[in-house]
Structure 1
Amino acid sequence: MPHFYSGDALGALKSVSFSLVDSPTEWKATTTVLVPGSSSGHSKTVQKLASYQTPESSTLLAAVHADGSAAVHAIHADSQLSVVHEWKEGRLREGQKFVGLTLKESTVYTCTSNGALRRTKLPQPDSEPSSSLSSLPMRLCEWRLSADARTFVYGGEEVEMSLWDTEKAFSERPPVAEPALTDSKKRKRGDQLLPGEVWRAKNVPNDQLSLRQPVYNTALTYLQPSSIPSQQHLLAGTTNGCVRRYDTRVARRPVSNWVGIGKVGGVGSVEDGFHEHEVFVADRGSTLSALDLRNGRTIYTYKGISGAVTSVAPAQRFMVSASQDRYIRLNSTFGPPAEVGQQQEQKGEVLCKEYVKVVPTVVVWDGFVGREETSVEPEGEEPEDEVWDVMQAADSDSEGEGKSAHRREKKRRST
């Protein structure tokens, strides 16, 4: 069954699981409070969540709050929590926030909007917890770590998308005294990479009036992660509603720039889906859509969302969204058509929604594949197309039967 964790505006942490009732289309949600909300109000708002499945099939859950506090919890089989490690980001100032959080094995990475980057080693039986610090540019809106933790990327207000080598970013760098710079030298310096920086995007060309277009990256994610740090596919959403795709191997400017995607307040979040060529985009309003990465076209939009989407969490065949209307929704997903430009036959829809008393600010998938259902049909019944496969196999020779079985197995794995 799909299983997620959520955090809300008062600091509560919850476990949210979805399951089928009696029909293949009727879902129900079960919510368990792991950490109750704080009486101190929005100072404990959960700004980022991250989960990690250990090799022992237990779960670690990391959370960072608006007041700069952070904690990693171990979730036990009875849904009880124990604190693994707690700390506070002292460099976070009023009006600033956490823009990135990732939990990898025994290491936690956090980043704030003022560029305070921290790597925290969790306590082990033979070692004490420790932290490494680094500083990035200010006015950041989003920070993401790659799947292998070798690189990270960030962007923000007047901060172009930038790709960094993780280890080099935390290595000690002697301070460099900078002389007074002229305007021409400043422009040249803007093209120079910082120590640890692997690649930096370049602004799109001027508009039709020859005016510079402002840089304001509000959301970003990795696409098709590569083991080679300098060769990455990246996606960014901007405050003016554009979604831009970058290929660090070929250019600094976006290889695709799709305008008008975020219709209300610009793009709020972008998340890579589990289907090929699929990405989910939410604006600052209530629009949540699936896009085809081959041409930037919207393949379907989810209906019935009445509040601004605060967080999106893809999970294999499903996607969960949280919004300011106080609902956490389980949504179905379907990949783009096989050929570009073909009509989308199946469209994602809201399968189930769970009302919560406090606005959910973030939701994450637990990453546990074993909890996903392999089929949404009731036990003992076969999908209609598989029934036809069986009928064809009965009238064919053994070779045809083998092909039909192969098709069924392939479809089962794809779901």
Structure 2
Amino acid sequence: MPRFLVGDELGNIKSVGYNPASQEESKTTLKILHDGTVTGRTKAIQKLALNAGEKTLLSAAHANGAVSIFSSNEDDQLELLQEWKETRIKSDQSFIGLAASGSSVFSCTTNGALLMSTLKDDNSGVSHNLAALPSRLCDWRLSHDQQTFAYGGDEVEVSLWDTERAFSRPSESFAKGAPVNGSKKRKQSDTLFLGEIWRAKNVPNDFLGLRQPVHNTCLTYLSPSTSTSQQHLLAGTRLGDMRRYDTRAGRRPVAVFKGVGKVGGIKTVEKGFSEHEAFISDNGSNVYAVDLRNGSISYGYKGLSGTAISLAASPTYLASASIDRYIRIHSVVQLPDKVGQHLDKKGTVLERIFMTTIPTAVVWDQEQDIAPVNEDEQEGEDVWEGMKNVEEGDGKA
């Protein structure tokens, strides 16, 4: 049974389980794992990150600048292990990135305050390592192997960094804009900071010769790579476009998919588990499955009445957290083998759960999904199971 973990505007953390085989009217179960109502909206959850290692740890970034690490006890309740505050964040800023790897938690804010916090082996404390990035960021992601991270924002091009070098460089390097090759003749926009591997270049001017504004609203890594210098990234923009980057193919996008976000630009993007599959939401009430081979919308989900501010994909389902206070469980349809081939069926909303408060973040708990059973195939199997085997010698001459 797939399960998703949800944070809300009051600091609560809940689990939503979906059982497609349930005979009940509702196939979902909702459970409170952590009660955060005692602190109110000052501790609203902005980001969640799960580390499913030997011991599952859940991290949460809150609106008041606090970051928490929880572990699950025998009663399936979350126990607080450690909590600390990001002191560089201001009241009008927020967390735009959170990731967990091993015993370390990475957090990033809109003003570029990057923090790596490592939990001690006995859980008795946390050590911190600070780094500084550009401000006006909108999204930050850590790679699958934690070797690199990427970000983008308002007039901030998509950028790729080496994680280890970002935290080991001198703290003043970013402020001075020190170039990686020591040259002072390069243009400021082309100068890489210490720890920065690659930076995107803006798309060409429009048909009037005017510069196109840079506003990356969200991004994600695509296929995992063993090379830190070669990464495949997908970014959404305020204009509703999606830009696909291959860092070895140049600084400009290898593909630009126009107008994918229909209302107010792309809100969030998540890579699906199938090849060439991504899910996006816009600032209206649209959630789409996109074919990355040509940027076309494979299908959209109907019946949504609010902006989906967070998406979480599992191998068999998609969960969305919406400002209309619903968590929705969506079916996922395998993309065709050939580009442009017709899909026999579309994705649908399987269940929706009213949360009473606005859900702000959702993540998959990384437990193995159970693939949905085809009812027609199941009925056929039942027929065969009801038949008796014919023993040798039972047949009539």
TM-score using structure 2 length: 0.90
User: In the aligned structure 2, how far is the partner of 1:217 from the partner of 1:264?
Assistant: 15
Aligned to 1:308: 307
- Identity in percent: 50
Match of 2:27, SS state, is strand
What is the identity, as a one-letter code, of the residue corresponding to 2:242? V
Whether the aligned pair in 2 keeps the contact of 1:111 and 1:117 (CA below 8 Å) is yes
Is the CA contact 2:302–2:349 (under 8 Å) kept in the aligned structure 1?
A: yes
**1:85-234 map, 5 Å:** 85-125=82-122, 128-173=125-170, 175=172, 188-234=187-233
Label 1:306 to 1:90 Cα distance change in 2 as closer, same or farther (>3 A): same
The one-character-per-residue Cα deviations of 1:181-203 (angstroms, maximum 9, x if unpaired) are xxxx8980210111000100000
Aligned-residue offset at 1:21: 4.8
Aligned partner of 2:15: which letter? S
Is this contact kept in 1: 2:316–2:371, CA < 8 A? no
Q: Secondary structure at the match of 2:187?
A: helix
Amino acid at match of 1:311: S
SS of the residue 1:382 aligns to = helix
Letter in 1 for 2:167: F
Contact 2:169–2:194 (Cα < 8 Å) also in 1: no
Judging changes above 3 Å, is the alpha-carbon distance between structure 1 residues 204 and 26 closer, same or farther for their aligned structure 2 residues?
farther
| Residue 359, structure 1, aligned to residue 354, structure 2 | no
Q: Is the CA contact 1:319–1:332 (under 8 Å) kept in the aligned structure 2?
A: yes
Normalising by structure 1, we get a TM-score of 0.86
Q: Indicate the SS of the match to 1:310.
A: strand
Question: Structure 1 residue 38: deviation in Å?
Answer: 2.7
Structure number with higher helix proportion: 1
CA–CA distance in 2 between the matches of 1:86 and 1:350? Answer: 36
Q: Distance in 2 between matches of 1:98 and 1:126?
A: 24
What is the one-letter code of the residue matched to 2:93? Q
Aligned to 1:393: none
Shift of the 299–186 alpha-carbon distance from structure 1 to 2, 3 Å rule, reads farther
Match of 1:61 among 54, 58, 61: 58
Shift of 1:107: 0.7
CA distance in 2, matches of 1:88, 1:385: 58
Q: Deviations over 1:292-333 (max 9, x none)?
A: 000000000000110111110000011101101111011110
Aligned to 1:19: 19
Answer whether contact 2:81 2:123 (CA < 8 A) is retained. Answer: no
State the Cα distance separating 1:27 from its structure 2 match.
Answer: 5.2
CA contact (8 A) 1:275 1:334 kept: no
* Alignment partner, residue 412 of structure 1: none
Could you tell me which residue of structure 2 aligns to residue 272 of structure 1?
271
Cα deviation per residue 1:151-175 (whole Å; 9 max; x = unaligned)?
Answer: 0000000000000000000003263
SS at match of 1:261: coil
Secondary structure of the residue that 2:166 maps to in structure 1? helix
Deviation at 1:374, TM superposition (A): 3.5
Paired position in structure 2 for 1:382: 377
Cα distance in 2 between the residues matched to 1:233 and 1:95: 32
Gaps of 5+ in 2: 178-183, 386-397
Rounded Cα–Cα distance in structure 1 between residues aligned with 2:191 and 2:217:
23
Contact 2:82–2:125 at 8 Å: present in 1 too?
Answer: no
Report the alpha carbon displacement of residue 44 of structure 1 after superposing the two structures with TM. 1.3
1:83 aligns with 2:53: no
Report the RMSD for the aligned CA atoms in angstroms: 2.5
- Measured in 2, the distance between the counterparts of 1:14 and 1:169 equals 34
Q: 1:355 to 1:186 in 2, by over 3 A?
A: farther
